[in-house]
Amino acid sequence: MEQYRTRSPQYGPRRDRPRPPRQPVPSQAGRGAGGEPVRAARPPRQQRRPVPLRRPAPAPAPAAGGLPNPRLTGLGSGLFCTVVMFLLGVLCTALFGASLTAYGVLFLPVCALTALWVRPGDLMTAPVVVPIAFAVGLLPAADGEGGAGGTLMGLVTALATQAGWLYGGTLIAGLIVIVRRIRLVHRRRTAGVRPPA
């Protein structure tokens, strides 16, 4: 019995498969100086532009000529009121000859500013600090015979005679604080936030 030889496909391609077409040889015009083929330059990739980030608009600057609206802590409002009233006491002594009436009139707007400028968390400190500031400001304006005892007696006398200004300034500060507190509670209830106790 005759054995036929079989040819393994690994020794070459089979003849029944068509050969791939040959690629045309690039001409000399597409070759470089050394005879190497020159590759066509790829078009540059389009770079993506970064998306600009939207920054929040800056807060509008306060209008020129507007009143300042600081927010003072309880200690800050006490220091503000005390220092201003002491300076007003010195000024009244120098200009008006220790006029307690002028001092009492100037005490009222200071009380209003103290109650307006204290921050919402420290509203209840305003009616407390204004009487203290009134007494401290009376030290340079009170008439005393001299020495610590005379100054103390002059201070007590001035507090007794000018109690109307003291009560009026404290009342103004208390009313402003009550109105601010009511508005704060109403605003928090509208926003659905429970007001602090």
139 domain residue, yes or no: yes
Q: Across the 197 residues of the chain, what is the mean pLDDT of every consecutive 10-residue run?
A: 54 57 56 57 62 58 56 88 91 80 90 91 90 89 69 81 90 94 89 59
Number of domain units in the chain: 1
Q: Are 147 and 87 in contact (CB under 8 A)?
A: no
* Coil/strand/helix, residue 32: coil
pLDDT value for 179: 93
User: Tokens 């006029």 label which residue?
Assistant: 99
pLDDT value for 190: 86
Exposure on the CB side of residue 49, measured as CA atoms within 13 A: 3
108 domain residue, yes or no: yes
16 domain residue, yes or no: no
pLDDT value for 189: 86
52 domain residue, yes or no: no
pLDDT value for 174: 93
Tokens representing 174? 């208390």
Return the DSSP state at 72: B
164 domain residue, yes or no: yes
pLDDT value for 121: 86
Domain that residue 141 falls in: 74-191
63 domain residue, yes or no: no
Q: Which whole-number Å values give the CA distances from 80 to 6, 70, 71, 133, 135, in the listed order?
A: 112, 12, 12, 9, 14
60 domain residue, yes or no: no
In this prediction the pTM is 0.58
56 domain residue, yes or no: no
Task: Give helix 74-96 / helix 100-117 axis angle, nearest 10°.
Answer: 160
Burial class (CB in 10 A: 0-12, 13-18, 19+), 137: buried
pLDDT value for 175: 95
